[in-house]
Amino acid sequence: MSIRLKLLISYICMILIPIVLVILFLHLLFHLFVGNIEEMRHYYHVEKTFFDEVLNDDLPIYINLQNYTKEDPELLRDPYFLEQYEEQLDKRRTVLVVKEEEDVIYQSGRVEDELLVSLSHESEVLKASNNQQGFINTDIGTWLYTTTNFHFTDGTEGSYYLILDIEPVYSFVRTVVPALVIIFLLAFMITNGALTYVVSKHIIDPLKALHQATNRIKSGDLQHSIFVKRDDEIGELSHAFEEMRIRLKDSVEKQVKYEHNRKELINNISHDLKTPITSIKGYVEGILDGVADDHDKLEKYCKTIQAKAIHMDRLIDELLLFSKLDLNSVAFHFEKVEIVEFIKVLLEEMKLDFEKQNIHVKFESSLDKGECIRADRDKLERSLRNILSNSLKFLDKEQKEIMISLKRTDHNISIMIKDNGQGIKEQDLPNVFKRFYRGDSSRNTEHGGSGIGLAIVKQIIQAHGGKVSIESTYGEGTSFFVTLNVWEEGEDLNGEDINY
C-alpha cells in the first residue's frame, strides 16, 4: 500500500469517523429526549407499534383504556374504577388525565396547572397533525405523553392522557452528555495523536536512516548498505538508494582501477619505448659521427632505424587500441561472417610470414558449408593475427608447425590454433592474458613483443560475447581456443555499431 493511500485513509479515519459518531450520537439524543417521537418514527420509517411498546412497557392499562374507549367509554367517567390503576401508574412515574370536553374529570396524581395548560395547547396541535404522542418541556419539568380521543355514550367528546415524567432522565442527559462529549473529544484527540505518531514514525524513521546513509556517502563511506523492507514509496526509495550506492561504489572502484591502469600504462610505455628509441639514437649518432663510413654500413644503419621505427609504430598502435578497449570506447561493427572463408583469407594474407620461417600450416574444418558467426571482421582478424603472431615468435623446432581447426558445439563455433613451439611454463599460464605480462621477470624484448597482444585478444573476444583460453606444455607447444557465437537465422545485426 502506498504512503499516499495510507495517509489518505488515516486522514479520513481521523476526521470522518469522529464526526459521524458525534452527529449520530447527538441526533439520537435530540430525537430521543428533546425531539418529537412521532417525527422520529417517520424519519426512521419505524412501525408505530415500536413506540407503543417503548412508551407503554409493562403498562397493560394502556390496552385496557383503548378497549374501554370502544366498548364502554362511560367507565372513564368513573373515578372509583380508574383508581385501581393509580398504584401501577405511580410506580411508573406516570399520570392518567381524563378530560370531558375541556374539563378535567380525573387525574391519577398531582399535575401542575401549567402542565395542564400546555397539555391542552399541545392537544390541539396533535389533533391538527393527527399525532398521538408528544413532548412537553416547562419550567417545572419535562414530560412525555400520549393522548387518545374518543366519544362518551352521549356523544360528548372525551380524551385521556398518559403522562410520563421524564425529568430524571432529562436531568441525567443534561449531566452526562457534556461529560460524554468531553470524553469523546479526549478520545478523538488521543486517537488522532496516536495515529499521527504511528504514521509519522512509520515514515520518518526510514527517512532518517536514508539521511544518515547519505551523510556517510558524502563523507566517502560507500560500504554502508541500507535496506528497508517496505512495499511502498519508501521501500522503492530505499531500493533505488541502495542501487545508486552500489553503482557509485562500482564507479569509484572502476575509477581507481582506471587510474592504476593509466599509471601502469604510462610506466610500461616508457619502458617499452625506451629500448627502440635508445637504439635509434645510437644508430643516428653513429651516422653523424661518421661510423657508417661506407654505403653498406650506412644502409644497414638506416634499415635498423627503420625497423625500430616500425616496431615503435606497431607498439604505439597496440597501446592505443588497448587503451580504448580498456575504456570501452571502441566501436564494434558486427555482421554476418562466413568463418571458413574468413580464416582462409587471413592465412593467405600471412602466407609470406609463414614462408619466411618455413612454417607448415594445416587448416581443417568440420563445419557445414556456409556456416557463419556474428563478428566484427577487423577486430576478429586483429585478435586471430595476434595469436598467430605469438605462435610465430616462439616456434623453436626444426619442423615448425601450426594447425588451425574449426568445429561446431551447440550454438558456438570453436577455433583452435595449435603450434609446436617452446610452450609456456605452467606457473605462467594464468597470466598470459594479463596486460604487459611476459613469461620472464627481466621483461626481455628479444621477440619484439609489447606484452599486451594477448590482452587485446581477450578483450576483443569478450566483446564478441565469446571466450578465449589456452593450454600449453612447456617444451612441446601451445594451443589457443577461441569460442564465438553462431549466426542465428533471422538475426539482423548487419551494420550494428556497439561501443565496448
pLDDT tens digit sequence for 312-328: 887 777 777 777 777 67
pLDDT band for 341, please (50, 70, 90 cuts). Answer: very high
CA pair distance 35, 42, nearest whole angstrom: 12
pLDDT at residue 405, as a whole number:
93
The dihedral region occupied by 473, where left means phi > 0, alpha psi between -120 and 50, and beta the remainder, is beta
pLDDT at residue 342, as a whole number:
92
CA pair distance 434, 437, nearest whole angstrom: 6
pTM, 2 dp: 0.48
Nearest to 194 by CA among 14, 7, 9, 21: 14
Nearest to 40 by CA among 52, 28, 22: 28
Residue 58 has pLDDT above 50, yes or no: no
Element (H, E) at 168: helix 167-218
CA pair distance 448, 311, nearest whole angstrom: 8
CA pair distance 406, 237, nearest whole angstrom: 51
Q: Does residue 406 or residue 434 have the better pLDDT?
A: 406
Q: Which range scores top for mean pLDDT: 96-110, 273-287, 339-353?
A: 339-353
Do 430 and 247 contact (CB within 8 A), yes or no?
no
Element (H, E) at 384: helix 377-393
Residue 221 has pLDDT above 70, yes or no: yes
Grid coordinates belonging to 416: 583452435
Mean pLDDT of 218-242: 77
pLDDT at residue 122, as a whole number:
62
Q: Does residue 339 or residue 182 have the better pLDDT?
A: 339
pLDDT tens digit sequence for 385-419: 989 988 888 888 889 999 999 998 888 999 999 99
10 Å CB burial of residue 456 (0-12, 13-18, 19+) is buried
pLDDT band for 35, please (50, 70, 90 cuts). Answer: very low
Mean pLDDT of 348-364: 90
201 CB-side CA count, 13 A: 6
Residue 362 has pLDDT above 90, yes or no: yes
Residue 44 has pLDDT above 50, yes or no: no
Residues contacting 142, CB < 8 A, separation 6+: 135, 136, 165, 166, 167, 170
Q: What 8-state DSSP symbol labels residue 438?
A: -
pLDDT band for 210, please (50, 70, 90 cuts). Answer: confident
Residue 195 has pLDDT above 50, yes or no: yes
Residue 287 has pLDDT above 60, yes or no: yes
Averaged confidence pLDDT in the chain: 77
